[in-house]
Structure 1
Amino acid sequence: MTRLLIVTDAWHPQVNGVVRCLDKVGQELRTIGYEVEYLTPERFWTMPMPTYPEIRLSLASLGEIGEIIEGFAPHNIHIATEGPLGLLARHYCTTHHLAFTTSYHTRFPEYVAARLPVPCEWSYAYLRWFHDAAAHTLAPTRTVVEDLKDKEFQHVVEWTRGVDADRFTPGPKSVYQDLPGPHLVCVGRVAVEKNVEAFLKLDVPGTKIVVGDGPQRAELEAKYPHAHFVGRKQGAELTAHYQSADVFVFPSKTDTFGNVMLEAMACGVPVAAYPVMGPIDVLTDPNAGVMDENLALAVQYALKLDRANARAHALKYSWASCAELFRRYLVPAFDGQEKAA
């Protein structure tokens, strides 16, 4: 049985696209015979990330990371994040001449710059150094691949995402009956980098509903009393919120993909978004979603779209194909001597 170790600083109970993607890929690979082990913050003492306490930073040592890697003796190693665990695993692999792959999930430089006076160029220099040691760096869309290549990243390949089309399905509008329509829904972390306020500022008819939680929620909830903040939802409850939307509004300009767009479309909900990285590659069918620099205009046009077309577009993506592409890019860990030299 092939043993795969996935190292990630992002893991449960966090609810985000990185965790969902890595979890789903592991599930799919296990069905075809892989033994998948995750090296995550669950194993260590952690501390809250400054300005973002929902994210926990692992207080691990290089010795602990080495013991885990040696004990599992993986055939393949994938380092998914550039945080403390990813950094320690990278150091161990390069020191012991083990080949590995990495993935680029988050526009970390833009996230940092939104909170701290740190130039994006500095953060990208770190990320370039981090990923250039990998045999392949997996990025979620062609646009992200080209952007990273323009920034002189090496070995970047495209690795798309999937959606659980059995879980996210069309259904009755069961949640917002008491609210005036149309029902405009935004799902995700309520944080400055997600640009949720751009959604809340829209001058459009209907009710704005925010599904999710995060550090900016209290501020925005006080500032926009006519919007409805329902908190984080999971499972069937989350699906019901998607199904009850007339349009899914995706205001983020920093996401590399945006899994929530696929989930919404799988539930038959058209998407309105800005024409930026993420939506450009996901909303390739104009019958499933609308992109416009004027987000209010995108919402108006999205309201006219056929929900069946949104569902049909989402069905082009699957976690099985995502996992298969991931598998193809894996490299034998112990064939790294020549690369490391």
Structure 2
Amino acid sequence: MSTGVNAAVERIQNIGRDLMAALPNVAIGLVVVLIFWFAARVVRTLIQRIWATRGYERDLALLFGRLASAALTVLGVLVALTIIFPSVTPASLFSLLGVGGVAIGFAFRDILQNLLAGILILLTRPFRIGDQIIVSGSEGTVEDIQVRATLIRTYDNRQVVIPNADLFTNTVTVNTAYDKRRLQYDVGIGYGDDIDMAKQVILETLQGVTSIRTDPVPEVLVVDLAESSVNLRVRWWIDPPLRKDALDTQDEVLHKLKEALLAHGIDLPFPTRQVLLHDQTETTDGDRARQREGWPRGQGDVPGARWIPRRSDKERVDKEQP
């Protein structure tokens, strides 16, 4: 019993002496890590400033600055490990990285996929920071394109974090990709109204909206002969193509169109429905002089209508026949 205790105490003492002997190396390793971390921050800032002065894209500067910072930080950790553990050589570290890279690739497959997608997004630039996009049911302004995900601020001031892999593989609508944008709205007029007059009134009204571009010119097209109205599609262009400007312009256009059309006696009909209750099993079906519902009461039968007896009626007719 005493022999085992003495061996355990001796082992603990050896570990303590080894730790005390390694403290200088640990301190030096921590200092090296701090130096490399500070250098990584400086390099990231320099890369961003250099790219900004040369007119490159801000999002690309952020990407390469982050990659350079991460590479220097990892290098500092590896150097610190060789200092703390003298038995660890650069060759053993690189072999460890080779074997561990495969394991890390399988364990962090989604993270690496998002990383690669983020790099491709920043290189191909389908959208930029500040653009307004729609993706997977979310719509808002791109605030940041990070290595793993893209941050979007919605119009009601909420943040949506979208993985870069989803952005790279799914359909993305960029509302601000071009310097101007076309808006449209369908206006229904009555069947008894003059279509040419309605078009003229609409175009004259659009001329009074200052936020609408004159090139391309607004246009009005007949798009549908609906159940209760003739639908005219009003189309106009705005600049810039931001959502706020689109909503403000549409609000002004619809307000003025309603007042102008009504002032010129042009009807804005609403849908109407007529419901007829028609029991097709009655013996009087198709006979306008006898039927109770469905068709207006009148003289004569409905053209093409005929009486199809029910089973009970057929049985009654068969019994009455001699």
TM-score, structure 2 as length reference: 0.21
Which structure has more helix as a fraction of its residues?
2
Larger Rg: 2
Between the two structures, name the one with larger relative contact order (CA 8 Å, sep ≥ 6).
Answer: 1
TM-score, structure 1 as length reference: 0.21
